[in-house]
Amino acid sequence: MTALASSLTLSAKACIKGDMLTQLLQSLGHSPLLLFLAQAVVIIGLARGLGLLVRYIGLPMVISEILTGILLGPSLLGWLLPSVSSALFPKSSLGLIQLFAQTGLVLFMFLVGLELDTKMVKRHGRMSLWVSLAGIVVPFAIGGAAASMLYEKLSSPDVRPLSFALFLGTALSITAFPVLARILSATGMLHSKVGTVALTSAAINDVLAWCLLAFVVATAKSHSLAQSVLPTLLTILYVAVMWFVVRPFLRRLGQRGSSREGLSQNLVAVVFLLLFLSSFATELIGIHALFGAFVFGVLLPKESSFATALADRLEDFAVVFLLPLFFAYSGLRTQVGLLNQASMWGLFATLLSLLLIGKFGTCSLAARASGMSWRESAAVGVMMNTQGLMELVVLNIGLDMGVISPTMFTIMVLVALVSTVSTAPLLRLIYPDRFVAAESTKDPQGPLDALCLLLCVSYPATVPGMLKLTRALLGQGAQRSRIYALKLQRVTERSSFYVADAQAPQSEADALRPIIKLAEESQLPVRPISFVSHHLARDIANVSEVKGADLVLLGWHRPLVSRAALSGTVGGVLEEARADVGVLVDRGLEALQRVLVPIHGTAHDQVALRVARRLLEQSGVAVTVLRVVDPAGSASPASAEATLHAALADTYSRVTVDVATASEPTEAVLSALRQATHPYDLVLVGIGREWGLEARQFGIQQEYLIRACPTSLLILRGYDPSVHGAKATPSTQSALSAGSQRSPS
């Protein structure tokens, strides 16, 4: 027993120290394939795991991939478990990782070029050109000036000061176009004014920066400036051949790929051959293979579905598998431990400050000088400060060539990480969601007396019932009213989404085509709104406020077992929307002829009565009000009657009023439904604890009334300015009341 205990103790200690894991990994080292597969599992698994956290806080996936590389490198794993690190990533295996990483970069730079829409550059060229030039010239000059002070500390005598200055200037001036595009998609700003200007500026910046990098690489490889003339001339010849010879051929290739034949394997093979030939040519010239991949992607035609189909085929493999290997390889070369002096961290702070001055400051001023407001200009400046992947590419090229030292490499990697991580939070602070919603949903105002309905479309099954209710609410005034169908698209992880979303107005119609078709059959003038959303409930509330919505109509669907019925997005809208909100539980709503309105003195009874009154006036719906009285209560029948008179006004005489005495209000409603001579089509009920209806995030079971009600149910929450804050309208009175007229915001 003593020997067994001793053995278990030693095994536990070995596990704690990582000895057993080290031995296992060392055994894998005898097979390069097994070791590489183990490395791929760790890299991709950690990147995706961190990605769940990163996406939750609204940052792009690339942040988790950069962090994965740093965590697996000597900065953390090599520091905590050096034996495990050396066994998992021995120096002999880094060559294979580098090979896959470089191949992944070639494919990814091709995708970056494929995302670049030259038409977008033409549409917003003038303003974006000034912003882009300011974001390159000034940071490049600042980086070149700073290089003269940093050369002795962070470079070696073997490197020419000019090469060091050129690389530092390029690293500070570049903007990560694909990373910025993913951030704009996550924040819903992809097609906004500031988002379009920033993305166009980043696209121009990418083109200019890669041309600049090609010159810098050629200069660094040459022993003198005169020797860089030949690579420059060959680069000009390469670009001319690509433009005048390859581009027309690619156009014909794209037309064939968009035909009935589609994207065949032969076409994909031709694209790969041309891609690798282009990369081979630029590597042979001496300006790096990535430049050739980028140029080839830019020249590939994007007018047809060919580019989108090609991106769909390549992206998952390149982004999910190959690109994380590049970040891991960069992380293995990042040694935070080299910054072991306060002066080194001071240099990091200095370079970060120079980046803020050079990119944020100058791009903001350029945007302001071009006619944008200070808020819009600051947002553009923040977006242009995004570096991420592109700077890592530049830094790896510089480190491979020996132009920058490992210490300089580490400092600049941390600068790129901080600048990329800070983009989304700063953007939300400077340009909040309400500005995005105001711009994304801008359209001509309707008549002053028009009712405004916002239909939130999530599940197709809820659409017919919502349209039938809308038709009944509007009656003959449908053409004067404003009806919006809102379809929010969840954030995608794909980086080539920009190609697919290039035609933004058409994508709105496509996303909402089923509801538009049904609305046309019902003669309802529905206006579609669709955009990418990271926070669904908040964006629905923002759109409702911008549009001056009188009623936000949501379709209810069965939640998860552990969630309350009025939770999730529905619960968020009930809490945040500055408008009346209705949640339709559709149980086969075919016709709307008889409506039951149970009231029990809840805070939201009034909105249920207002909706009932409008249904009666606009569509002649028969309304029965069920006044539930608590036998132990002290409410005055006269005061309750006066409340009904005030709410229903001149329609009171046309409403049937029943009284039910019950200690359980829900049972009174269900009993009335069961005993009705003619079945009701819809029940209108104000949200409240009295009915067991309240917005909660978690619940053991669904609310009883929702679960037991045999007919369709509309749960209503009235808007109260004293609770939700003042609404941006001339009057806070609801236009759901037939007599109220108010102006939309």
Sheet of strand 526-533, all strands in order from the earlier edge strand to the far edge: 526-533, 482-490, 452-456, 551-555, 580-585, 712-717, 682-686, 594-599, 622-629, 656-661
The DSSP string of 612-676 is HHHHHHHH--EEEEEEEE-TT----HHHHHHHHHHHHGGGGGGSEEEEEE-SSHHHHHHHHHHH-
SS3 letters across 582-613:
EEEECCCCCCCCEEEEEECCCCCHHHHHHHHH
Q: How many CA atoms lie within 13 A of 739 on its CB side?
A: 6
Rounded to whole angstroms, the Cα distance separating 276 from 289 reads 9
Residues facing 624 on adjacent strands: 596, 656
Rounded to whole angstroms, the Cα distance separating 185 from 658 reads 53
Contact 549/452 with Cβ under 8 angstroms? yes
Rounded to whole angstroms, the Cα distance separating 491 from 534 reads 6
What residue spans define the domains of the chain?
A: 102-315+343-431, 446-492+503-724
Q: Six-digit token pair at 99?
A: 């090979």
Q: Output the pLDDT for position 244.
A: 92
Contact 153/408 with Cβ under 8 angstroms? no
Residues facing 167 on adjacent strands: none
Helices 125-154 and 193-221: angle between axes, nearest 10 degrees: 40
At residue 83's C-alpha, the angle toward residues 77 and 86, to 5°, is 75
Residues facing 657 on adjacent strands: 625
Rounded to whole angstroms, the Cα distance separating 678 from 595 reads 11
**Start-to-end Cα distance in the chain:** 81
Q: Rg (Cα) of the chain, in Å, rounded? A: 32
Contact 577/540 with Cβ under 8 angstroms? yes
Residues 6+ apart with CB under 8 A from 500: 308, 311, 507
Kindly provide the residue ranges of all beta strands, DSSP E only, lying in 24-160, ordered along the sequence: none
Residues 6+ apart with CB under 8 A from 735: 449, 450, 451, 452, 550, 741, 742
Q: Output the pLDDT for position 262.
A: 63
User: Of 243, 244, 259, 251, nearest to 301 (Cα)?
Assistant: 251
Could you tell me the mean pLDDT of each successive run of 10 residues in the chain, 745 residues long?
44 50 66 86 90 76 82 86 84 86 86 72 72 88 86 80 86 79 69 78 79 78 66 84 90 72 78 92 83 86 75 81 86 82 86 85 89 88 82 84 86 86 84 70 50 84 86 80 82 48 44 74 82 78 85 75 66 87 89 89 83 89 88 64 73 84 84 88 86 57 75 88 46 47 35
At residue 657's C-alpha, the angle toward residues 654 and 658, to 5°, is 150
Residue 251 phi, psi (nearest 5)? -65, -45
Fold of 446-492+503-724: Rossmann fold (3.40.50)
- CA dihedral sign of residues 653, 659, 665, 669: negative
CA 479, distance to chain mean position in Å, is 35
User: Of 36, 140, 12, nearest to 88 (Cα)?
Assistant: 36
The widest CA-to-CA distance across the chain, in whole angstroms, is 100
CATH number, domain 102-315+343-431: 1.20.1530.20
**In residues, how long is the chain?**
745
Helix (H, G, I), strand (E, B) or coil at 102: helix
User: Of 412, 493, 419, nearest to 47 (Cα)?
Assistant: 493
User: Of 46, 44, 24, nearest to 35 (Cα)?
Assistant: 24
Helices assigned H by DSSP within 159-264: 161-173, 177-186, 193-221, 229-241, 247-257
Q: Output the pLDDT for position 274.
A: 93
User: Of 745, 721, 453, 738, nearest to 584 (Cα)?
Assistant: 453
Give buried/exposed letters for 68-104 (b at 16+ CB in 10 A, else e).
bbbbbbbbebbeebebbbbbbbeeebbeebbebbbbb
Q: Six-digit token pair at 645?
A: 């008179």
User: Of 704, 461, 717, nearest to 572 (Cα)?
Assistant: 717
Rounded to whole angstroms, the Cα distance separating 41 from 47 reads 10
Helices assigned H by DSSP within 401-558: 406-421, 423-430, 433-440, 463-474, 497-500, 504-511, 513-521, 536-547
Residues 6+ apart with CB under 8 A from 598: 625, 626, 628, 665, 668, 669, 672, 683, 685, 691
